[in-house]
Amino acid sequence: MLNIVLFGPPGAGKGTQSQYIIEKYNLIHLATGDMLRAEISEKTQMGLEAKKFIDKGQLVPDETVIGMIAHKLEKHSNASGFVFDGFPRTTVQAAKLDEMLQKHGAPISLMISLEVGKDELIARLLNRGKISGRTDDQSESTIRRRLEVYNTETLPVMDYYKKQGKYREIYGMGTIEEIFQRICKVIDETKGK
C-alpha cells in the first residue's frame, strides 16, 4: 500500500498535484479541506462548527478532522493507498494517523512537501479566491493569518516525518507538469525501495 502525505502551506498546489498523483498511482484522495467544505455546504452540525474556525483562518479541532479521516479509511479499506491532502496538520493528528494506519498494516510511505515562497502563495490564494469564491481565499489578512497558523501549528509535522526518514522536499514552482514530474521521481524512488 502506498500512503502519501502531501504537505505544504495553503496555495502550494496540493489539491492540483493530488489529482495527478491519484490518477497515475490509483490512490484514494483524502482532502480534509474538501470534506469540511462539503459538510459546510450541507450545513451539517460538523460543518457549521468547522466554519467558525475556517472563517477566522484557524485550524479545525483535531477530533473533528481525525473522525472524518477514520471514517474514510474504514470506507476504503481495500484501497491500494491514499494521498492525504491537508492532513495531518498537527503532530497529534500525525501520531493518530500512524495509529489508524497500523491497524491496516500500511504506514505512511512518504511525506512530499511542496515548497513555495510566501509572496507567490498570497498571489495564488487571492487569485483562487476570485475564481472559486472561497471566503478564506479572498482576504489578504485571512490568508496571512492562515500562513502564520501553518508556520506555528502545522510546520512541526514536517519534523515528525523527518525523524521517521519519510520527508521529501519538492520545489513547488514551475508548470504543473514540471512539479508533477519532480513528485513522480520521488514516489517512484520510494516505491522502488
Match 504543473 to its residue by C-alpha cell. 176
Phi, psi of 29 (to 5 degrees): -90, 120
Terminal-to-terminal C-alpha distance of the chain: 13
Using one digit for the tens of pLDDT, what is the confidence trace for 93-112?
Answer: 999 999 999 988 889 999 99
Q: Compare 192 and 128 and report the one with higher pLDDT.
A: 128
- What is the DSSP secondary-structure string of 4-72? EEEE-STTSSHHHHHHHHHHHHT-EEEEHHHHHHHHHHTT-HHHHHHHHHHTTTPPPPHHHHHHHHHHH
What is the average per-residue pLDDT within 98-127? 94
Residue 193 has pLDDT above 80, yes or no: no
| CA pair distance 175, 127, nearest whole angstrom | 16
Alpha-carbon distances of 151 from 26, 53, 115, 147, 185, rounded to whole Å: 31, 17, 13, 6, 27
**Residue 116: CATH number of its domain:** 3.40.50.300
Report the SS3 class of residue 100.
helix
| Number of domains, the chain | 1
* Residue 112 and residue 6 in contact, taking contact as beta carbons nearer than 8 Å: yes
The secondary structure element, H or E, covering residue 139 is none
Q: Compare 83 and 66 and report the one with higher pLDDT.
A: 83
* Residue percentage of the chain with pLDDT more than 70: 100
Nine-digit cell at 78? 481495500
Residues facing residue 143 across a β-bridge: none
| Residues noted as catalytic | 14, 89, 128, 134, 146
What pTM, to 2 d.p., does this model score? 0.87
Provide the residue range defining the domain that includes 103: 2-191
In this prediction, residue 47 carries a pLDDT of 85
In this prediction, residue 189 carries a pLDDT of 95
In this prediction, residue 83 carries a pLDDT of 96
Q: Which residues contact 128 (CB under 8 A, 6 or more apart)?
A: 11, 134, 137
Residue 5 has pLDDT above 90, yes or no: yes
Q: Residue type at 84?
A: F
